């Protein structure tokens, strides 16, 4: 994940970049076809920046790699607000398929981002690549509060099983001292000293 400030957004909003990658394992004795769907969070929309939007999607399965990047390629799999990817799964104990999506969204700061699992999920790693200095992160695995461990300054790992409907909540807490000094600085802009 990345959380990036833009001067014209002020300090109450930021652009959230999410790269979401996972392996999909076949659980049946035979090969199977599956449709995977991802949706954007339309709670906040910024038409000037075309947010929210998918930037990229990739499926690596037994047929090879199918990559969708750029508006023309993404249009083939993104309709009515839903990214739909067809995946061919190998039989149980075969090589898993790899799915990757990249998206940009607008979020509140302070605020939170929630990612819910729709399937049985195991071994989750969350890494925040970029975050403004006035934001502190708090990470919780909803429904499974124990077992989360920090694996670096901006990395969290959860190795236990996550059930459908459970998920991850990332809270963006704003440092009130820095916020107060920024607000005072904004109020004083353009005023003589």
* Nearest by Cα to 22 from 56, 58, 75: 58
Let me know whether 152 and 179 are in one domain. Answer: yes
Let me know whether 62 and 75 are in one domain. Answer: yes
* Nearest by Cα to 174 from 131, 110, 107: 110
Let me know whether 70 and 131 are in one domain. Answer: no
HSE value, Cβ hemisphere, 13 Å, CA-based, for 120: 5
15 in any annotated domain: yes
Let me know whether 120 and 89 are in one domain. Answer: no
Let me know whether 25 and 120 are in one domain. Answer: no
Let me know whether 87 and 118 are in one domain. Answer: no
Q: What is the DSSP string of 150-169?
A: E-STTEEEEEEEE-TT-EEE
Let me know whether 70 and 137 are in one domain. Answer: no
What span, in angstroms and rounded, lies between the C-alpha atoms of 30 and 131? 44
**Mean pLDDT, range 165-182, rounded to an integer:** 74
What span, in angstroms and rounded, lies between the C-alpha atoms of 25 and 80? 27
> Is residue 185 pLDDT above 50, yes or no?
no
> Is residue 100 pLDDT above 80, yes or no?
yes
Range of the domain at 165: 111-186
- Of the residues 80, 108, 136, the one at which a domain ends: 108
191 in any annotated domain: no
DSSP 49: G
> Is residue 167 pLDDT above 90, yes or no?
no
Let me know whether 121 and 101 are in one domain. Answer: no
- Of the residues 55, 89, 108, the one at which a domain ends: 108
What does the pLDDT read at residue 177? 53
Let me know whether 61 and 131 are in one domain. Answer: no
Let me know whether 43 and 104 are in one domain. Answer: yes
> Is residue 192 pLDDT above 50, yes or no?
no
Record the pTM.
Answer: 0.81
What span, in angstroms and rounded, lies between the C-alpha atoms of 155 and 170? 12
Question: Residue 175 in contact with residue 131, Cβ under 8 Å?
Answer: no
- Of the residues 75, 91, 108, the one at which a domain ends: 108
Residues 6+ apart with CB under 8 A from 60: 66, 97, 98, 99
> Is residue 190 pLDDT above 50, yes or no?
no
The total of structural domains in the chain comes to 2
């Amino acid at each position: 994940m990345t959380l990036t400030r833009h001067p014209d957004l002020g300090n109450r909003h930021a652009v959230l970049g999410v790269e979401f990658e996972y392996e999909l394992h076949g659980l049946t004795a035979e090969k199977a076809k599956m449709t995977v769907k991802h949706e954007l969070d339309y709670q906040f929309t910024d038409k000037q920046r075309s947010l929210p939007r998918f930037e990229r999607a990739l499926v690596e399965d037994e047929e090879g790699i199918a990559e969708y990047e750029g508006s023309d390629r993404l249009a083939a799999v993104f309709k009515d607000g839903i990214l739909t990817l067809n995946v061919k799964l190998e039989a149980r104990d075969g090589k898993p398929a790899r799915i990757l999506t990249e998206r940009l969204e607008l979020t509140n700061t302070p605020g939170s981002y929630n990612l819910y699992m729709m399937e049985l999920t195991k071994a989750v790693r969350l890494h925040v690549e970029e975050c403004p200095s006035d934001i502190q992160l708090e990470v919780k695995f909803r429904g499974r509060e124990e077992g989360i461990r920090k694996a670096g300054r901006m990395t969290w790992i959860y190795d236990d099983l996550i059930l459908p409907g459970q998920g991850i909540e990332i809270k963006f807490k704003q440092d009130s001292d820095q916020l107060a000094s920024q607000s005072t600085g904004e109020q004083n802009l353009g005023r003589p000293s």
